[in-house]
Structure 1
Protein backbone atom coordinates (compact mmCIF):
# COMPACT_ATOMS: atom_id res chain seq x y z
CA UNK A 1 0.00 0.00 0.00
CA UNK A 2 2.89 2.49 0.39
CA UNK A 3 3.23 2.60 -3.41
CA UNK A 4 -0.39 3.77 -3.63
CA UNK A 5 0.30 6.67 -1.27
CA UNK A 6 3.45 7.70 -3.15
CA UNK A 7 1.63 7.61 -6.49
CA UNK A 8 -1.21 9.75 -5.16
CA UNK A 9 1.24 12.27 -3.69
CA UNK A 10 3.11 12.50 -7.00
CA UNK A 11 -0.10 13.07 -8.96
CA UNK A 12 -1.29 15.66 -6.45
CA UNK A 13 2.03 17.52 -6.59
CA UNK A 14 2.03 17.47 -10.38
CA UNK A 15 -1.48 18.89 -10.52
CA UNK A 16 -0.74 21.54 -7.91
CA UNK A 17 2.24 22.96 -9.83
CA UNK A 18 0.63 22.79 -13.25
CA UNK A 19 -0.34 26.24 -14.61
CA UNK A 20 -4.04 27.01 -14.29
CA UNK A 21 -4.45 27.31 -18.09
CA UNK A 22 -3.32 23.71 -18.65
CA UNK A 23 -5.22 22.07 -15.78
CA UNK A 24 -7.94 19.64 -16.66
CA UNK A 25 -11.26 19.49 -14.93
CA UNK A 26 -11.08 17.01 -12.12
CA UNK A 27 -12.77 13.76 -13.03
CA UNK A 28 -13.18 11.20 -10.34
CA UNK A 29 -14.16 7.65 -10.99
CA UNK A 30 -16.60 6.02 -8.58
CA UNK A 31 -14.69 4.23 -5.83
CA UNK A 32 -15.94 1.75 -3.27
CA UNK A 33 -14.42 -0.68 -0.83
CA UNK A 34 -13.82 -4.21 -2.15
CA UNK A 35 -16.67 -6.65 -1.57
CA UNK A 36 -14.27 -9.55 -0.87
CA UNK A 37 -10.83 -9.53 0.77
CA UNK A 38 -7.97 -10.91 -1.32
CA UNK A 39 -7.68 -14.02 0.86
CA UNK A 40 -11.29 -14.94 0.08
CA UNK A 41 -10.74 -14.28 -3.63
CA UNK A 42 -7.73 -16.62 -3.53
CA UNK A 43 -9.82 -19.39 -1.87
CA UNK A 44 -12.70 -19.05 -4.34
CA UNK A 45 -10.35 -18.93 -7.32
CA UNK A 46 -8.46 -22.02 -6.12
CA UNK A 47 -11.74 -23.92 -5.81
CA UNK A 48 -12.98 -22.88 -9.26
CA UNK A 49 -9.67 -22.75 -11.15
CA UNK A 50 -7.13 -25.20 -9.68
CA UNK A 51 -3.57 -24.06 -10.34
CA UNK A 52 -4.40 -20.39 -10.89
CA UNK A 53 -2.06 -17.68 -9.64
CA UNK A 54 -3.06 -14.34 -8.13
CA UNK A 55 -0.74 -11.34 -7.88
CA UNK A 56 -1.47 -8.11 -6.03
CA UNK A 57 -1.17 -4.98 -8.18
CA UNK A 58 -1.22 -1.26 -7.43
CA UNK A 59 -4.34 0.52 -6.21
CA UNK A 60 -5.99 -2.57 -4.66
CA UNK A 61 -6.15 -4.45 -7.94
CA UNK A 62 -5.11 -8.01 -8.57
CA UNK A 63 -4.15 -10.17 -11.54
CA UNK A 64 -5.51 -13.70 -11.82
CA UNK A 65 -3.72 -16.00 -14.28
CA UNK A 66 -5.11 -19.38 -15.24
CA UNK A 67 -3.65 -21.62 -17.91
CA UNK A 68 -5.75 -24.64 -18.76
CA UNK A 69 -3.58 -27.72 -19.21
CA UNK A 70 -6.25 -29.61 -21.14
Structure 2
Protein backbone atom coordinates (compact mmCIF):
# COMPACT_ATOMS: atom_id res chain seq x y z
CA UNK A 1 0.00 0.00 0.00
CA UNK A 2 1.55 3.26 -1.13
CA UNK A 3 0.53 6.49 0.53
CA UNK A 4 2.20 9.81 -0.04
CA UNK A 5 2.47 11.90 3.12
CA UNK A 6 2.17 15.67 2.95
CA UNK A 7 5.31 17.77 2.57
CA UNK A 8 6.42 20.01 5.42
CA UNK A 9 5.84 17.72 8.38
CA UNK A 10 9.39 17.87 9.69
CA UNK A 11 9.65 16.14 13.06
CA UNK A 12 5.97 15.12 12.89
CA UNK A 13 6.50 12.88 9.83
CA UNK A 14 6.81 9.79 12.02
CA UNK A 15 3.52 10.56 13.79
CA UNK A 16 1.72 10.95 10.47
CA UNK A 17 3.19 7.71 9.14
CA UNK A 18 2.01 5.97 12.31
CA UNK A 19 -1.55 7.24 11.72
CA UNK A 20 -1.55 5.58 8.27
CA UNK A 21 -0.14 2.37 9.80
CA UNK A 22 -2.75 2.44 12.56
CA UNK A 23 -5.55 2.65 9.98
CA UNK A 24 -4.17 -0.32 8.07
CA UNK A 25 -3.67 -2.35 11.25
CA UNK A 26 -7.12 -1.67 12.68
CA UNK A 27 -9.13 -1.99 9.45
CA UNK A 28 -7.28 -4.63 7.43
CA UNK A 29 -5.69 -6.80 10.08
CA UNK A 30 -7.94 -6.37 13.12
CA UNK A 31 -11.23 -6.15 11.19
CA UNK A 32 -12.41 -2.95 12.90
CA UNK A 33 -15.26 -0.96 11.37
CA UNK A 34 -13.84 1.39 8.74
CA UNK A 35 -15.61 4.69 9.45
CA UNK A 36 -14.95 4.92 13.20
CA UNK A 37 -11.27 4.17 12.63
CA UNK A 38 -10.99 6.77 9.88
CA UNK A 39 -12.87 9.37 11.94
CA UNK A 40 -10.62 8.85 14.96
CA UNK A 41 -7.41 8.89 12.95
CA UNK A 42 -8.55 11.92 10.90
CA UNK A 43 -8.96 13.87 14.13
CA UNK A 44 -5.36 13.10 15.07
CA UNK A 45 -4.09 13.92 11.59
CA UNK A 46 -5.99 17.23 11.48
CA UNK A 47 -4.49 18.24 14.82
CA UNK A 48 -0.99 17.78 13.43
CA UNK A 49 -1.76 19.43 10.10
CA UNK A 50 -3.40 22.47 11.68
CA UNK A 51 -0.50 22.95 14.10
CA UNK A 52 1.97 22.90 11.20
CA UNK A 53 -0.27 24.78 8.70
CA UNK A 54 0.33 22.02 6.14
CA UNK A 55 -1.18 22.58 2.66
CA UNK A 56 -3.09 19.82 0.84
CA UNK A 57 -1.09 17.39 -1.26
CA UNK A 58 -1.73 15.38 -4.45
CA UNK A 59 -4.12 14.13 -5.57
CA UNK A 60 -6.07 16.92 -3.81
CA UNK A 61 -5.74 20.42 -5.22
CA UNK A 62 -2.91 22.39 -3.64
CA UNK A 63 -4.35 24.72 -1.02
CA UNK A 64 -3.22 28.32 -1.06
CA UNK A 65 -3.61 30.40 2.05
CA UNK A 66 -5.64 27.79 3.88
CA UNK A 67 -4.87 24.69 5.86
CA UNK A 68 -5.67 21.27 4.50
CA UNK A 69 -8.28 19.38 6.50
CA UNK A 70 -8.78 15.63 6.38
CA UNK A 71 -12.42 14.58 6.15
The normalised TM-score by structure 2 is 0.31
The normalised TM-score by structure 1 is 0.31
**Which has the larger share of strand?**
1
Task: Considering Cα pairs closer than 8 Å and 6+ residues apart, tell me whether 1 or 2 has the greater RCO.
Answer: 2
Based on CA coordinates, which of the two structures has the bigger radius of gyration? 1
